[in-house]
Structure 1
Amino acid sequence: MRKLKAVIGAGIAVGFMLTATGIAQADPGRPNNPIEGDLPDVGDDLVQYATYRTVSKWEEVNFQYTNTIDHALRMALRDSTGWQFTPTKIMSTKDSTYTIAENGSDVALPEGKRFAINARSNGFMLHYQDNHWGGQLYW
C-alpha cells in the first residue's frame, strides 16, 4: 500500500510539473531574440541592419528596449526590397515595450512577410555619447 501511495504521489507530482510547464509557455512558437546594434559615432545616419526575420502567425512585431542610447532611438521595419513599410517608432524609455507593427493599424503584416530593421538616433550623436542600443524583439 505504501508503494502504491508513493507511485500515485509521484505521478501526481509529474503531472503537476507538466501542467505548470505548459502554462509557462504562454506564446509557444512566437519567435523572439535579443537584438542590439551600434549607431554611427557622429551623426544621425540611418543604419540598415542585415538580419531578416519572417513574421509569425502573431502578425505583430514588438521591441522591449532595455539598453538605451543617449538620444531617443528611431526604429522601423523594411521589407526584402529595401522599402520601409512601417512608420518610424521613436523609443526613449528603458525597459518599455514598443509595438513597431501590428495588423489592424496602418501596417499589414501577413504571415510569412520578411523584414529587417532600420534604426537611427533621434538627434545628432557625438563621439562620446552612448550609441549602443539593445533589447528583445518579438515577432
Structure 2
Amino acid sequence: MYVGTCCPWWYCQQIVDPDVQVQCILQNLPLWPGYGCQQALNTVLENHKKKLSEQIKSKLKLMLHKISIYEKILPFMNCAELKTWYDVKCTSEKNPSLVVRLLLEAREFQACLTWLELHNVSERALHLFDTKFFLLFPGI
C-alpha cells in the first residue's frame, strides 16, 4: 500500500503537458491499484477538461468506468489469481465464464448484469456460459 504523496500516480499528475500526462497514466494503469487509477484519471479529466480532445476524454471516462466495475466485483472473485482490478480485467477477456460463475456463486446478480453489460454480452451469447450455474438459482 502507498502512503502519503509517494504514490506513483501522484508523480504522473506533476507532468505539465496533458498529452504526456495522459500517456503516462494510461501506460501505468495496469501497475496501480484501482483507487490510484481512479484518482489519476479523475484528476487529469478535471485539470485538463478544456485541453483534452473529446476522443481522449471518452477513452479516459471509459477506463474510469471499467476500473470502477472491476473494483466493485473484485471482492467476489474468490480465486487466488485475482488480486487486482487488472487481474479481473484480464480474466474477463480470457475466461469470462469464470467471472460469471464466481459472481453467480456469490449471488451478486446485479454485479453480474453490470459486468455483462460492460462486456456487451448479448442474450444470444449467454448460451456460451455453463447453464448449470443458472439452474442453481431458480427465479433469476
TM-score by shorter chain over 0.5 = no
More strand by share: 1
Specify the TM-score bucket, using the shorter chain as the normaliser. under 0.3
* Structure of greater relative contact order (alpha carbons < 8 Å, 6+ residues apart): 1
Q: Which has the larger radius of gyration?
A: 1
More helix by share: 2
What TM-score do the two structures reach when normalised by structure 1?
0.24
